[in-house]
Amino acid sequence: MNTLAPNKIPTVKKLIIAVSIVIPLVVGALFRIRIPGDLSFLPPVYAGFNAATAMLLILALIMIKQGKTELHRFFMRLALLLSLLFLVCYVAYHLTSDPTQYGDLNHDHILSDAEKASAGNWRLVYFVTLISHIGLSMVVIPMVLYAYLFAWAGQYDAHKKLVRYAYPIWLYVAITGVVVYWMISPFYR
């Protein structure tokens, strides 16, 4: 891997900050914008991206523990690519689809008392999982990008220190992305 020239690091850091701000703003805007289209096939696709990302993260950890640096880099780059593909598919789906409510069995966008009762405590489990997933996904974006930057710049001590926190958060976000999909999928229209 070619290392990043030291004079380029400040520019990349500014880009990381910009991306870390823009992504949550764009995702937040999804709740107000709708465009015509039917991309209802995308949720299982982007859940698959999350599942594959989780597997790649685990493989990358195994590779670095075995000293297989090139394989570690390869798996991390694939994990980054799949996370980017997840984000593109997630944005596309939510631009074209109304939100799905957990427990809305008849798909009328109104939760009746019977539907709430049917969902029971699983509704709380779903929302706790979803909120932690969303919150940590915003936190992990700059962490992952800075960790990648540190590795790219050959600053391996800084990379290792940050990855100690970024890795488990990213893995949690990838896994809970699949769990959230699995829990909400019965209520898709």
Domain segments of the chain: what residues?
38-187
Mean pLDDT within 34-41? 92
Give 50's contacts (C-beta < 8 A, 6+ positions apart).
82, 86, 173, 174, 175, 177, 178, 181
Give 13's contacts (C-beta < 8 A, 6+ positions apart).
146, 149
CA distance 81 to 112: 41
Q: pLDDT value at position 53?
A: 98
pLDDT range class, residue 1, cuts 50, 70, 90:
low
Give residue-wise pLDDT tens across range 65-102: 999 999 999 999 999 999 999 999 999 999 999 889 99
Q: pLDDT value at position 104?
A: 92
CA 189 vs CA 38, 81, 88, 185: distances in Å:
11, 29, 21, 9
Residue range 38-187 in CATH 3.90.550: no
Q: pLDDT value at position 99?
A: 87
Query: Average pLDDT over the chain, rounded to whole?
Result: 93
Residue 172, token pair as written in the block: 């949690």
Q: Give percent of the chain with pLDDT exceeding 70.
A: 99
Provide the residue type at 23 as one letter: I
